[in-house]
Each structure stands twice: as structure tokens, then as C-alpha cells.
Structure 1
């Protein structure tokens, strides 16, 4: 297979491809992504027009490597900081980020570098070992004798014994999933230095686990004091094996989509969830659990539906024994350049009516922007009085997440109720 042609598209941009640049398999995979709202694919007289949405990253097709670059709010050099913040994982060291920051794949190489950094740390500390059951042929009895195997395979001979024994080995799930993720990361990277380092370190990890099995193992992993140091490495491994999804998996007939794609609205929702949680913690606030009922719609042709804001913050009220709820919605929109749309106003008013006191209704929109933080408050009135207040927070994604969280805490309406 000759080297793939690289096609680069900015977020919400488009590119025209000739008919020969996409195989029928490529078209099928792109149609799956199109059905999930990740991108657009239209037929033209000479080929195809590919439209990028709010998805960034790398997609490896049969004849092209499609690179979709972040353009809207979170710049490429800050993307990893915000992604690490949303995932609760340590950001790659600055020297690691700079090493591959200018690579042709950008986001994909940086995620691979983050995994590499964590795996190098685990190797320096020593990989975790645990007892693994093995069926061995031993000269002496060690463990439990396999009577059936001894009788049928050795025919009564006792010079070698078939035994079941437990040995402390590194060939355990905690390490095997990392070996698989390193192998996947190597196939996505075109940076020779990074690919070489990934290949070298992968040799130290067991690698006989298919990606889908590794992902299932990660989803069922529980962390204790024995494997807590693996959490960061597993976080980056999970991201790679899921094809980049923060909350969803890009799957095509059970096979990974062959790339690393990140849906920016999903990332922004995860960012806002942590931002508001961190911002309100010092004021006694916390994220409301799933037990809070959503707003329910009934009577529409027998269909019952429910919806909730992206985040519900529980805050102490004027009476210490009571708490109030503050609905917060993450909007990955250009509300730094134009006014809040009518649909979003209606949505936030519904949230404020459903969750906040009748005499003091508030709701919050958090959107990304570049060039400084911004705050404005919308007052929605009717002939019968105030309907509610919508606080619009523009978070500067060129700042560090911790600084943004402190600013959000300073402007949120935390003392109403």
C-alpha cells in the first residue's frame, strides 16, 4: 500500500475529494460517522465533498489520512490540558508536549505521547505483578496435581508432573491493556521518533489482547491501592482504544473506526461538568446525583420523554438545612460573537422553572471563547413580571483549567435561594 495522502480540514471546514481517493469501504465507514453527526459526506459530479463538524482528530482511511484540526475555541496547544482536565488525568509534561506538538497528526500524537509518558513511569517504578494460574509440566510437585492430564498424557510416568500453580507475573490485565493501547498508538503515529519510542516500550508489555477485549477489561477495572498508579495510563489507553470518544465509542460493526476522533461538544460538556463542580466546592456546592428527577413530558401521542441540564449543582440555601439546585448547560457555540438563541433561552427558562425557587429563578450557560473571560446576565421579563435570569459565562480556553475554575466560582450565582 503506497503512503496515504494527507487531507487536512479545519473544524467546520470542508474538502473536495476525487472519486478515486475513497474506496467503497471508506465510504461505508464515513457514512457510519455521518449518521452519528461526526461529519458530512456528499456526492459531487467528480467525487465527494467531506464536511467536518465539531469533531477533531485523525481518521486513517485506505487511501488518505484525514486530519481534522481544532479551529473554534480550544487551540491545539491547549487541547491536551483541557482534555486531561475533563478526564481527571495528569496532563503530559510540557517537554513531552513540545516534543511532538508540531507533528503532522497533532492531537493523535499528543495522546499517544501522554500514554507513552505514563507507561515509561510505570516501567521505572516496576510493572505490577499478580498471581496468575498456569498449567505447567514440572519435575517436582508444585501447586495442585492435574490427575486427568497426568493419567492421559504421561501414562503413569512420574518423571514430569502436570500441575496447576500460581506464579507472580506481569502478564495481567493491568499491563496487557497497555500493551494493546501502545500497539494501537503506534499505528496512528507518523512521527518516526514517537513511533520508535512506542515500539520500544511496547516490548516490555504483554500484547496478546485484541483491542475490543482490552477495552472491555478497562471498562470493568476497579482501582485499589494495588493498581491505583495505573489510573492515568489506563485513562489514555481507554481514549485510544475508543477512538478518541470522551463519552461515546465510535464503532463500526464491532471494529474500531481506525483513528482517533474527539467530539468537541462532548469534551466541552465534560469540561463544564468538572469546572462547575470545582468552582462550587469551596462554597459547599456539589454535583447533584442522578436521583434528582428530570423534567418530564407526558401526553404526546403516548410518548413520555425526560430531559435534564448537563450539570445540576446543589448549593446551600439561606437556611443551612435546605439546599437549592442551579442548572448549568454547556453550549459549544459562538456566544462570544452573537446573542443567545431563542431555543436556548427557552431551554434554560424551562430548567430554571423546573429546578429553582419561584421567586429567584436562575440558570447558567457556559461556552468556550478565546481572548479573556466574559460574563453577562440576561433578564427575561413578561407582562406579569420576571420569568428568570440566565447567566452566560464565556470561559477563556487559552487559560489553564484551574484558573478558569477559580473565575467561574467568582461569577456564578452561588448565594440565591
Structure 2
């Protein structure tokens, strides 16, 4: 079977595919992705029009291999650093370079998983005591007297024994074996494929990828398995098909690729940036966004509620009122607000957040958007016939810097 034809495009870009390049199974998978807002597939007179939304990664179809590279906000050489930051996991050595080969981003995630799995193999895999039964030529463990009497009828050439041995066949290791196997289908680099295959042979595997995902969702980390957390983070990303949140449902639909939705990634980045930025100055994030959030009653249908991506509690002004704390709503926007003005819908949304959470005398809310090249800030003021309605601070984070540098800048601005 010939290798799939590579198709290269950037986020928000589109390309034309010939009618024979997509099978009916491919069309079903692309429509499932379209329902999740990852891309758009349109039938045209000469074939198909495939348009990527705010998505990067690789999608392995039957006859084509779609590679979507970052074009908008986060440069390729920085994407892995920001992804690791959003996931709260150490930056892998694979993030030191941006692979320009046919698999790009997917190769880097597979290499990150491989790096963590090889570290676990060097340290020694976690082993648990497992009860088992077997037939041995010599006594090992305890003799199963009942089985020996009823199955061997007193013969001693083979012994039925009960064992209690330490084995690596546990769920912490099974999910990594399944993830390594999934990574094999995403890379065409021979060297990386050989290393992944070698590592996969050293790990047990779950019965299905869905079973591995369920095990990951049930995992609780203790001193016995906390060293598995980084590897599990990359495994979850691969098994779910990419993204900070689920890409497709686990009900029979598989991604067969690694696609990262950039808006959820940016929201995760902003939540961590804001929390870490205000921490040294006495601020902290409000867990759960301060209860039920802003709730709308009386409309048709059920009651609706919405809340900002991040709600910060800030201390009072030093030297004046340190006991009084203020709430600052922060919203992440994966938009080009370095090139055009804030939309009316976002202005209305942020004014509502400011009115609902911030102080009445100066209702303030913050927008944080990605801006390659340099940090930037500006302040919007909304006024009505009766005076000030609200203040919106628009912060552009330079995604060409490291997350640590961006955290320091936001801390200086919000302070």
C-alpha cells in the first residue's frame, strides 16, 4: 500500500483535495472533527476544500497525511515550551528544536513521551505484587494442594503452585505501552520509530486505548507513582488525539492523529500565567471562579451561567488599605488583538465581568491575548451618560519569549 500523500497547511489556511484523495471513512472522521470546531470540510465541484481552524498537528487519513503548522500566535520553536507549561509538566529535551520534517509537532510529542518512558526504564519500572497460579516443574511459591490432587492425581512431574510476585504489569505501565504504540502510527521518522518500538516492547499494554484513558482518569498520584506524572501527561495527549481537552468522543471514533486546539491551550496558559504572576505580590486565583458565576434568570429554556477564564483576588494598595481585597476577572482570547481592535462582543463580555466581580468604583477586567514579537498593553474605557461603565485592560503576551519571562511581565503590569 503506497504511503499517504503529505498535505501541508497552516492554521486558518485551506487547501484543495481531489475527490479520490478522501475515502468515505476519511469524510466521516473529518466531519466529526468539524463538529468539534477543529477544521472545516466543504464539498466543491472539483473535489474537497479542507480548512484548518485554530488547530495544529498531524492527522493521518487513509490516503493523505495532513500536517497543520502554527502560523498565528505561537511560533513553532516555542510551541512545545508553551504546551508543557500549559500541561504543568517539565519541558522535554525534544522542545529544544522544532522538527521541520513531515510530522513536525507530532514527532516532538512522541519524542517527549519516549524521553520520559526511557527515564522510567533507567530508574526501573514500578512493580506491584500480583497473585498468580501456574504449573511449574519445581516448587515455587506455595503448592496448590487441591489443584495438585484433582488435576495431577498425585503425580509430581508438574506442580500446581500459587505465587505472589512483583510484576510490572500494572495500569501505570499499561497506559504508557498503549501510548507508545499510538505514537508509532504518527511518525514516519525511522530513527524515532525504532526507538518507540523498542520502548513499547518493555511496557505492558492496555486491552484498548479507551481502557488506558479510563485508567488515566482514575489515576491518583502518591509517592509510589508520582514520577510517572510527566509520562502520563504526554500519554494522555497522544491517546486523546491531542489537545488540552478531548478531541473526539471515545465512543468508537478515533482521531488517528494528533491535533492541538489552540484556544483551549491558550486558556490553560493564561490561567497559569495569571496565577503565578500575582502570587509573589499576595494575590491568588479564586477556586471555581467564585461559586456559580454570573447567572441569567427568566429567559426561555434553562438558567444560564458564565464566568471568566480566571478570577484573581488581589490585595489592597500597600500603605493604605491592605486588608481590603479586590477581584479581577481575566479572560483569555486567542485573537489578533495586536492587529485590530477588540470586538464589540468581547467588550460587552468583559464589561459584564467587571460589573459582576470587580469593585463598583472602578470595574476592571483584563483580556490576555498572544502577540508574537513584544509585550504590549493598552487600556479601554467605556463611558455612558452617567459616567464610567468599566475599564478593560488589554495585555498582549510575547509568545516568542519563555513562559517564565511572560509571567514576570504580567506580574509587573498587574501589580
TM bracket, shorter-chain basis: over 0.9
1:404 aligned partner: 406
Is this contact kept in 2: 1:143–1:166, CA < 8 A? no
1:266 aligned partner: 264
Deviation of residue 301 (structure 1)?
1.6
What is the TM-score with the length of structure 1 in the denominator?
0.94
2:37 aligned partner: 37
| Offset from partner CA, 1:55-88 (integer Å, 9 cap, x none) | 1111100100011111001011110000000001
SS in 2 for 1:250: coil
- Cα distance in structure 1, aligned partners of 2:140 and 2:80: 53
- Cα distance in structure 1, aligned partners of 2:84 and 2:400: 15
Judged with a 3 Å threshold, the aligned counterparts in structure 2 of structure 1 residues 52 and 406 are, in CA distance, closer, same or farther, namely same
1:278 aligned partner: 276
Bigger mean CA offset, 273-282 vs 170-179 = 170-179
Given candidates 318, 328, 331, the residue that maps to 1:329 is: 331
- Cα distance in structure 1, aligned partners of 2:293 and 2:342: 23
Map 1:79-118 to 2 at 5 A: 79-93=79-93, 96-97=94-95, 101-118=99-116
SS in 1 for 2:308: coil
Map 1:217-232 to 2 at 5 A: 217-232=215-230
Is this contact kept in 1: 2:171–2:206, CA < 8 A? no
Is this contact kept in 1: 2:143–2:159, CA < 8 A? no
Map 1:161-310 to 2 at 5 A: 161-251=159-249, 253-290=251-288, 292-310=291-309
- Cα distance in structure 1, aligned partners of 2:17 and 2:299: 44
Give ranges in structure 1 of 5+ residues lacking alignment.
none
Deviation of residue 44 (structure 1)?
0.6
Deviation of residue 252 (structure 1)?
6.3
Deviation of residue 387 (structure 1)?
1.0
* 2:65 is aligned with 1:65: yes
- Cα distance in structure 2, aligned partners of 1:297 and 1:333: 27
Judged with a 3 Å threshold, the aligned counterparts in structure 2 of structure 1 residues 144 and 274 are, in CA distance, closer, same or farther, namely farther
* 2:372 is aligned with 1:370: yes
Query: For the aligned residues, what is the CA RMSD?
Result: 1.9
Give ranges in structure 2 of 5+ residues lacking alignment.
none
Length, aligned pairs only = 410
- Cα distance in structure 1, aligned partners of 2:152 and 2:322: 76
Bigger mean CA offset, 200-209 vs 401-410 = 200-209
- Cα distance in structure 2, aligned partners of 1:312 and 1:286: 9
Bigger mean CA offset, 270-279 vs 100-109 = 100-109
- Cα distance in structure 1, aligned partners of 2:84 and 2:279: 20
